[in-house]
Structure 1
């Protein structure tokens, strides 16, 4: 078993926490946030080649509470953040300006952003019949949190001046409903994760009720569900190519096809991972974080055997994620740092964008 060596990016005033997303194209920001203790209310961006700090999304229209999630759009031009200040916000990553504030009645735990739009919702809910088709270039946001409600925000009608947008169907805001009774809540507990699945015009949500649910973006109705009643789900992430989910629950790591909703890899580990990420190119290894120690581990995807242990953090590791080209993986810890690791040692340096490997 080898020991990996990582590169320290930057210290934080508080730990980067649960949301770590390498930039998906050649853009100048990696977005990550500190989600739990209300110590660091900013969302910070870093240049991908040198690790230089680019700026913090704050200002008059910045968040006033801890930020739980930050996500980049596919082109890297926009970001969405979810916060304990009862709002989600949409940002211009080049200017650092807040474009829209999405108000909620409780803490927003998760948000996702998409720039590709399907046909508008066609349900029996009281959406206005004059709702226009969603433009392929329009921004759409998913949000979920302590309200237990899953919302789709079409921002093509929003003024994009940083202020609160409307919250009704007439404003382009739609709520997903489940079951014959059309329940307003998407889950029976706090929604911990929401993700777009654009390839199938769908989205996926994960809640404290130990359920994963699939939803149709056109009808706003639930299509499938997966129950993990034995243990709480600690993480759910979508692969860079949009083809599978990475799940951790208890000591289990599962990689689930979004096309079939069936697992194609599953392992029971000797510890409880906080997150998992599969090498997007070879799919031969996966990496994990862990909150019961300070280590990052690399495993063989076929056997689950431990290959390397990365030591360097001085606090629990909440997140581990591969870069889109598989050349590096990153880890985020309560020690206030993000570290970059090379699965196979090469010339020293941070991630340099590989356009051929990173194409979706």
Structure 2
């Protein structure tokens, strides 16, 4: 099929910038997508089509962080109203609300969904026990500026966080102590743990850095043509995607850092990118208030995705290859 172009599936509904997203699901072929937006209304969607499932209503400020547990039965959100909330992802019911003393920027579930980690502008990382919500949170203190991302790490024995103090830190859950620290030349804008837990992906300034998850030794890093706000490594570690201030979504070869292609579909800076659990798609969220789904291998038959001939399209702003969903 000649002259294929990559037409992303665009998901509307948000009225303000999309700042974070997360994929999860019961199986690799059945998964869901949750998005955080400054309109205060996080949305749950079907992962492979972007079809809207529901909106979690209850926050009174911009939502900065979202997460789904592995079974996609629970959702978590963190917001500018100083709360982290846990929701029933099936009914949409709010289950728990945890008060903080500042904006909650990050939320994440443990593998068994028994605990929630939050990172906030309190400069603290907290763990809340979801099986005993009346108990006090475990507090991890050491960052000297607001925490941007905090995740369970190393089979939940540890936590990993990054903050506006230009550091990445690893915390031991049992002792509550910081056990590793890494300094960056710029604020880490995004943090991702690979699906097998072996690689950390960190976006900072115009660079994407990949770290060994055990030693924190740098595996490699690559320069990006723009200030990069988010990056995601494909599950098979062959490629990675990145997005930033120049409105483009980039795809790179993970082995040598060669740019494979880039697409300019958004009308504002790209704030977040993430691969789906099966690696067939990646999602991007932008200042323009939209989510877009992109096919990893252009032209591959996948679910409802089909190819269109680029000659039938009239959109000079799009680059070489795009796919369309129906």
Corresponding position of 2:301 = 347
Structure 1 match to 2:11:
9
Instruction: After TM superposition, give the deviation of residue 104 of structure 1 in Å.
Output: 1.0
SS of the counterpart of 1:307?
strand
After superposition, the Cα gap between the structure-2 partners of 1:227 and 1:350, relative to the gap in structure 1 and judged at 3 Å, is farther
How many Å separate the matches in 2 of 1:250 and 1:143? 24
Alpha-carbon distance between aligned partners in 2 of 1:90 and 1:220, rounded to the nearest angstrom: 23
Root mean square deviation, CA, Å? 1.9
CA distance in structure 1 between the partners assigned to 2:304 and 2:223 by the alignment = 32
Number of the residue aligned with 1:147 = 122
Contact kept? 1:29, 1:93, Cα under 8 Å = no
Work out whether 1:252 is the aligned partner of 2:207. Answer: yes
In 2, Cα distance between equivalents of 1:348 and 1:154: 39
- Kept after mapping to 2: 8 A contact 1:3/1:311: no
* 1:205 is aligned to 2:191: no
Q: CA 1:83–1:45 in structure 2 vs 1: closer, same or farther (change >3 Å)?
A: same
Say which structure is richer in strand.
Answer: 2
The farther-off stretch of 191-200 and 99-108 is: 191-200
Structure 2 unaligned spans of 5+: 306-326
Deviation at 1:213, TM superposition (A): 0.6
1:231 Cα deviation after fit:
1.7
Tell me, what secondary structure is at the counterpart of 2:219? strand
Shift, 1:271, TM fit: 2.3
Distance 1:29 1:232 in 2: 29
* 1:235 alignment partner in structure 2: 190
CA distance in 1, matches of 2:200, 2:75: 21
Task: Find the residue that maps to 2:159 and give its secondary structure.
Answer: strand
Counterpart selection for 1:75 from 68, 71, 88: 71
Offset from partner CA, 1:312-336 (integer Å, 9 cap, x none): 1111111111112111111111111
Cα distance in 1 for residues equivalent to 2:132 and 2:34: 26
The offset of 1:109, in angstroms, is 1.3
Offset, 1:28: 6.2
TM-score by length of 1: 0.78
Q: Kindly state the Cα deviation for residue 338 of structure 1 after the two structures are TM-superposed.
A: 0.9
Aligned equivalents of 1:54 and 1:200: distance in 2? 30
Identify if the C-alpha distance between structure 1 residues 213 and 350 changes in structure 2 by more than 3 Å, giving closer, same or farther: farther
- Is the 8 Å Cα contact of residues 89 and 98 (structure 1) preserved in structure 2? yes
Summarize the Cα distance change of 1:200–1:104 in structure 2 as closer, same or farther, 3 Å threshold.
closer
Query: What SS is found at the alignment partner of 1:30?
Result: strand
- Answer yes or no: is 1:270 the counterpart of 2:270: no
Alpha-carbon deviations, 1:105-135, whole Å to 9, x = none? 111111111143xxxxxxxxxxxxxxxxxxx
Name the residue aligned to 1:222.
Answer: 178
| 1:33 maps to 2:36 | yes
Cα distance, 1:11 vs. partner?
A: 4.0
**Structure 1 residue ranges without an equivalent (≥5):** 117-137, 159-165, 177-184, 352-360
